[in-house]
Amino acid sequence: MIPKKSEHSPAPLEEVSTNPDLKKKVNSVKPRRKVKSDNHNVTGYLFISPFLIGFFSLTIFPILYSFYLSFTDYDLLGTPNWIGFDNYVRMFTADPTFWKSMKVTFFYAGVAVPIRLVFALLVALALNKVVEMVGLYRTLLYLPSIVGGSIAISIMWRQLFGNDGAVNSILASIGLPTHSWLGDPDTAIWTLIILYGWQFGSSMLIFLAGLRNIPNTYYEASSVDGAGPIKQFFIITLPLLTPVILFNTIMQVIQGFMAFTPSFVVTNGGPVNSTLLYVLYMYRRAFEYFDMGYASAMAWVMLVIIAIFTAIIFKSSPHWVHYESENK
Amino acid sequence: MNNKKTKKIIQHTIMIIFTLIMIYPLVWMFSSSLKESSSVFVDAHSLIPDGFHFENYIQGWKGFGGISFSTFFFNSAIISIIATIGSIASSAVIAYGFARIKFAGKTIWFVCMMLTMMLPFEMVMIPQYIMFNKFGWIDTYLPLILPTFFGIPFFIFLIMQFIRTIPMELDEAAKIDGCNNFSIFFRIIVPLIVPAMMTSAIFSFYWRWDDFMGPLIYLSTPEKYPVSLALKLFSDPNSVTNWGAMFAMSSLSIVPIFIIFFFFQRYIVDGISTSGLKS
Amino acid sequence: MKKYILLCMILVLSALLSACSDTTSEADSADGDQVTLRMTWWGSQSRHDQTQEIIKKFEEEYPDIKIEPEFTGFDGYFEKMAAQAAGNDLPDIMQQNFGEYLNQYADKGLLADLSGFVEDGTIDVEGVSDTVMESGMKDGKLLGIPTGTNALAAFYNKTLLDEAGVEVPNENWTWEDYVDAAKKVHDETGKFGTRLMEPKNLFEYYLREKGYKLFNDDGTDLGYTDDKLLEGYFTLNKELIDDGVAPGYDTIQQIKGVEDELIVHGEAPFDFRWSNQATALTSAAGEQELGMTLLPGSNNTQGMYLKPAMLWSISENSEHKEEAAKFINFFTNNIDVYEIGGSDRGVPIKEEIRSEMSSDLNETDQKVFDYIELVTENSSPIDSNYPPQSTEVLAALSEVDELVMYGELTPEEGAKQFREKAMSILGR
């Protein structure tokens, strides 16, 4: 199985990138491409047409409508009335809970996202090395991520971190002091952070797919050059993995800021709002406090925040993300 | 030789311990599904059930008002399979367009796509409901399935990133051989992004399977409910919840995702090497 | 090749799907003179089963009416209903929740006024007490018929009280009796003497017992002016926590559900909650004997009230209000309904039904029935003046309560802070 891999597959890759004749041919084609440049527009739009059709027929109306609602006093059941920027003003000047939830969310995203990413990457690297039973490990490690945010998980988690739960039993057995993890406003958020880290399976899977996409020939070539495993990691694995790292980072930032289920099902925001994530607060405002207009405004504030973070990551990406396709 | 063997044993021991910690909560859930419903919390700390109450499974499978879980599983399967095919096929095509072709306005559309991921579903679901209601799609699977055929931003972006790791020279060589963009996509790119597509398929299946809000809002007839929604029908915070049955069905609901994952993950492993570049 | 197969599959499946949606719409129109009603409720497995059976009985009696059930769990029920309201697509018959939900839907004119149906006898509520009927009234309109009644109850664990040598409380107990009993249990057994009272319902009871309301009549202000009241409430609980008699929120936060309450585990003898949770508590408590009595306070007759467990409402945009009213009438008056469903939706509002049922009740239900009977004689009407913002006000109260119980605020500061928060919420 393994020798087979290196035998044939990435060979054409090598050929393409090293064959001087081909390169020449490629260069000679270039001028012709420029002439046909408007042709690219047609092809490009053809390829993304499913997205455009969906965007204009299904996606854009709800989005614009929610933007409109953010300037109204919509209470979920009645007719929305235009109130200008009132919701936004109230949010920034007269709602301490808004700031509280913002703080909680920044802390949560700031800690949980890096933990999950690093964890996922390390496990993916480890799994990439283990050969026997790798399928089994991978499946078992992915399992936590498929129980999702069910009632079962909320009970499970409260059991785990409860006074007589598994975490405290382990601490007690090794002589460490036990703690009321969920009841202490300072530690409750950590149980959610651990939950987020525990469900690292999807990021891990993407890293794994990325690792598997790196042609073996690259490693073989560098082994011939005498590079050790550590050097290989830094000159081959890491650079070639950067597109996937970029993807995971951006998606995790988005998901981290929009996290909702964990605090909804496990702690319901408590104690003393110490786990009141932004989206949970928004959800309460919309559906429990009948304040949909305000909640919509909150959603758009969050959108701007996430967009800024995403934009910063994208802007920085040319400095650290390595695309094979844009090599030259 | 001996050294190598000990190293292997250590490696596996670490992996096994780590794996056990990771799946402890799942074992707990499964064990709870065998406990007597009313004692679920009384001996919550114990992993070994007081007896094997398989009647939880029988009781749970019966479902609600004559609609059994076989209906719910069947519905979930239909929704998840079609939605997965739809989202992967369309996302791959769109991803190729974004990753490989230069065209006017590309950045704008890409930004639009990214922005659609940054609004929580809960905030757009009311207007979405109004819209689908106007279309007459309420109480059908269309709101759950059709949108996936227009690409899912998460998968589009994911597949894009994989396409961008493929050297451009491949495309250019193929062009010289007379391929147009469509045949490049189908004959060169698709085989190379199988791992990304399979990863997406696993996620897509799971997300659809697990999705609760969508079915809740758009489906009314209980015969059409998927498993995710049916699981919530067990609990009412103010009256008696059949916890045993709920845990039993929760445990069962994981099985299909588990199977899908187990069979699809090999494509991630084999990935680039066996899907071949020859075609 | 594979791709073509896939494509074909997709086409076939989408054709199938559209076919599916076609058939349902045909079925609707083909029925002709048969009226189809949509009906929603939330609940757990047993309620879903029982309600389907009740519907079957109803359809047997009224063959020209067909009911399409749309049931869910409690999670998400009102989110779905909000979406349906926005789409002008509310079901004909709705299970509604008393309080701010009913008031919100009523304020927006989404619920039909049922008083006409009561007057012309379509819905027979002969013999239902006025206080019960009034709980479905808002601004002179009858917006829902209670499915059954509920009341706050002081649950006690008799086994634990006996162990501590503390007398079982009766309906004449005062706050002092409550505190003394709790302290004694704590001293004798080392366990908690009571469960912490959460303010959501209990502060309102505390106020009523002292002759005040939580909100003023038009819902624009708090119903009490002296912050000493809330301060007293906070102090009562805080002292119990400080003495170790009641658990703090760090313990409460870990409770995983009704079946995991301290009283069930024999960890605390008292727990104040809704009477319809008796079944869940009793079945989880196993061998231990639980009982229930009125909440403490020398004026508890003034504090206690009957609350609709839930209500049946008809949507204003329903085209078949009369048929829907017939169902509500059937549900309220037919003994079969209660033989199937027991007291799952609260204790029946009709005297005849209650007495007819009492012969074959199980032990727990019998206790609940007796208790409701006791409350009926010892209560005053419920306050239904909940403003739309009441959930938010109550959330603010919980937050302040947590701060006080954690010792971050003194009771005095807490009472003041709650008023400030409530005023800014209500003043919007």
In this structure, what CATH number is given to the domain that contains residue B144?
1.10.3720.10
Could you give the C-alpha distances from A8 to A11, A223, B193, B274, B275, in angstroms and in order? 6, 18, 18, 9, 11
Nearest to A78 among C108, C399, C408 (CB): C108
Distance CA C128, CA C141 (A): 17
Q: Within its chain, how far is the Cα of C265 from the centroid?
A: 24
% of chain B with per-residue pLDDT over 90: 47
Q: Which of A69, A102, A131 is the last residue of a domain?
A: A69
Residue C153, helix vs strand vs coil: strand
Is A182 in contact with B67 (CB distance < 8 Å)? no
Report residue A28's pLDDT band, with 50, 70 and 90 as the boundaries. very low
pLDDT at C79: 92
pLDDT at A326: 67
Beta carbon pairs, B and C, within 8 Å: 156
Residue C348, helix vs strand vs coil: coil
CATH architecture of the domain with range C151-305+382-426: 3-Layer(aba) Sandwich (3.40)
Task: Looking at the complex, report in whole angstroms how far the Cα of residue B82 sits from the nearest Cα belonging to chain C.
Answer: 7
Of C128, C126, C119, whose CA–CA distance to C148 is shortest? C128
Model pTM?
A: 0.88
pLDDT at A20: 42
Is C125 in contact with C308 (CB distance < 8 Å)? no
* Residues contacting B130, CB < 8 A, separation 6+: A65, C86, C87
C256 to chain B: which residues are within 8 Å by CB? 41, 44
Residue B177, helix vs strand vs coil: coil
Nearest CA in chain B to C19: B140
Residue position matching structure tokens 């005498």: A226
Nearest to C75 among B82, B89, B232 (CB): B232
The pLDDT tens digits for C293-314 are: 999 999 999 999 999 999 999 9
Task: Looking at the complex, report in whole angstroms how far the Cα of residue C399 sits from the nearest Cα belonging to chain A.
Answer: 6
In a domain, B237, yes or no: yes
Residues A62 and A101 in one domain: no
Residues A118 and A217 in one domain: yes
Nearest CA in chain B to A29: B176
The reply to whether residue B122 touches residue A323, judged by beta carbons under 8 angstroms, is: no
In a domain, A82, yes or no: no
Report residue C27's pLDDT band, with 50, 70 and 90 as the boundaries. very low
A148 to chain C: which residues are within 8 Å by CB? none
Could you give the C-alpha distances from A254 to A106, A205, A297, A303, C366, in angstroms and in order? 12, 18, 18, 9, 54
Mean pLDDT value of segment A24-33: 43
B231 to chain A: which residues are within 8 Å by CB? 150-151
In a domain, A2, yes or no: no
Of residues C11 and A212, more confidence is placed in A212
Of residues A160 and C114, more confidence is placed in C114
pLDDT at A26: 42
pLDDT at C176: 93
Q: What is the dihedral of CA B130, B133, B138, B144, to 10 degrees?
A: -60
The reply to whether residue B65 touches residue C344, judged by beta carbons under 8 angstroms, is: no
C85 to chain A: which residues are within 8 Å by CB? 76-77
Nearest CA in chain B to C278: B239
The chain A residues in contact with chain C (CB within 8 A) are 75-78, 94, 154-155, 158-159, 161-163, 180, 182-185, 188, 267, 270-273, 284, 287-291
pLDDT at A3: 35
Nearest to A159 among C86, C256, C391 (CB): C256
Task: Looking at the complex, report in whole angstroms how far the Cα of residue B206 sits from the nearest Cα belonging to chain C.
Answer: 19
In a domain, B153, yes or no: yes
B262 to chain A: which residues are within 8 Å by CB? 135, 139
Q: Which region among A241-245, B240-244, C136-140 has the lowest average model confidence (pLDDT)?
A: B240-244
The reply to whether residue A325 touches residue B164, judged by beta carbons under 8 angstroms, is: yes
ipTM of the complex: 0.88
Nearest to B168 among A29, A157, A325 (CB): A325
Q: Within its chain, how far is the Cα of B126 from the centroid?
A: 24
The reply to whether residue C104 touches residue A77, judged by beta carbons under 8 angstroms, is: yes
Q: What is the mean pLDDT of chain A?
A: 83
Q: Which region among A7-21, B17-31, C42-56, C360-374 has the lowest average model confidence (pLDDT)?
A: A7-21
Nearest CA in chain B to A252: B154
In a domain, B270, yes or no: yes
The pLDDT tens digits for B150-199 are: 999 999 999 999 998 888 888 888 888 888 888 899 988 998 888 889 98
In a domain, A16, yes or no: no
A10 to chain B: which residues are within 8 Å by CB? 272-273, 277
C389 to chain A: which residues are within 8 Å by CB? 289-290
User: Which amino acid, one-letter code, is at A45?
Assistant: Y
Provide the number of structural domains found in chain A: 2
Task: Looking at the complex, report in whole angstroms how far the Cα of residue B102 sits from the nearest Cα belonging to chain C.
Answer: 26
For residue A221, what is the enclosing H or E element?
Answer: helix A216-224
Q: What is the mean pLDDT of chain B?
A: 87
User: Which amino acid, one-letter code, is at C121?
Assistant: G
In a domain, A220, yes or no: yes
Report residue C18's pLDDT band, with 50, 70 and 90 as the boundaries. very low
Give the number of other Cβ atoms within 10 Å of residue C26's Cβ. Answer: 10
Helix B69-100 and helix B106-116: axis angle, to 10°?
A: 150
C-alpha triplet B117, B121, B123: angle, nearest 5°:
110
The reply to whether residue A271 touches residue C105, judged by beta carbons under 8 angstroms, is: no
Of C142, C146, C138, C207, whose CA–CA distance to C386 is shortest? C138
C284 to chain B: which residues are within 8 Å by CB? 38, 41-42
At the topology level, CATH places domain C35-148+309-376 in D-Maltodextrin-Binding Protein; domain 2 (3.40.190)
Report residue A149's pLDDT band, with 50, 70 and 90 as the boundaries. low
The reply to whether residue C250 touches residue A184, judged by beta carbons under 8 angstroms, is: yes
Of residues B3 and C422, more confidence is placed in C422
The pLDDT tens digits for B61-100 are: 999 988 999 999 999 999 999 999 999 999 999 999 999 9
The pLDDT tens digits for B195-208 are: 889 989 999 999 99
Distance CA A141, CA C353 (A): 56
Nearest to B65 among C48, C75, C277 (CB): C48
Residues A117 and A233 in one domain: yes
B114 to chain A: which residues are within 8 Å by CB? 307, 310
Query: Alpha helices of C93-157 — where are they, by DSSP H?
Result: 100-107, 115-119, 130-134
pLDDT at B92: 95
Query: CA C238, C243, C248, C250 torsion: positive or negative?
Result: positive
The reply to whether residue C75 touches residue B245, judged by beta carbons under 8 angstroms, is: no
Domain limits for position B188: 67-275
Residue extents of the structural domains in chain C = 35-148+309-376, 151-305+382-426
Q: How does strand C35-42 pair with strand C93-96?
A: parallel
Residue position matching structure tokens 């709980």: C135
Could you give the C-alpha distances from C388 to A47, A297, B197, C105, C427, in angstroms and in order? 49, 20, 48, 10, 12
Provide the number of structural domains found in chain B: 1
Could you give the C-alpha distances from B164 to A214, A252, A324, B157, B169, in angstroms and in order? 12, 20, 7, 11, 12
The reply to whether residue B265 touches residue A286, judged by beta carbons under 8 angstroms, is: no
Of A236, A239, A210, whose CA–CA distance to A222 is shortest? A236
Of C16, C133, C77, C90, whose CA–CA distance to C382 is shortest? C133
Nearest CA in chain B to A127: B15
Helix A201-212 and helix A238-257: axis angle, to 10°?
A: 160
List the subunits that have 3+ CB pairs under 8 angstroms with B.
A, C
Of residues B241 and C161, more confidence is placed in C161
Task: Looking at the complex, report in whole angstroms how far the Cα of residue A97 sits from the nearest Cα belonging to chain C.
Answer: 10
In a domain, B128, yes or no: yes
C256 to chain A: which residues are within 8 Å by CB? 154-155, 158-159
pLDDT at B130 over 90: yes
Residues A167 and A117 in one domain: yes
The reply to whether residue C254 touches residue A185, judged by beta carbons under 8 angstroms, is: no
Whether C286 has its CB under 8 Å from any CB of chain A: the answer is no
Task: State phi, psi for C42 to the nearest 5 degrees.
Answer: -110, 160
Nearest CA in chain C to B141: C17
Residues A241 and A318 in one domain: yes
Distance CA C206, CA C196 (A): 14
Two tokens at B132? 């689908």
Domain limits for position A207: 89-326
Nearest CA in chain A to C111: A77
% of chain C with per-residue pLDDT over 90: 60
**B173 burial type by CB count under 10 A (0-12 exposed, 13-18 middle, 19+ buried):** buried
The reply to whether residue B38 touches residue C286, judged by beta carbons under 8 angstroms, is: yes
Q: Which of A5, A36, A69 is the last residue of a domain?
A: A69
Nearest to C391 among A184, A273, A289 (CB): A289
Mutant choice from B55, B58, B64 vs C, greatest count of C C-beta within 10 A: B64
Of C242, C244, C252, whose CA–CA distance to C199 is shortest? C252
Report residue C17's pLDDT band, with 50, 70 and 90 as the boundaries. very low
Contact residues, C window 255-274, toward A, CB-based 8 Å cutoff: 256-257
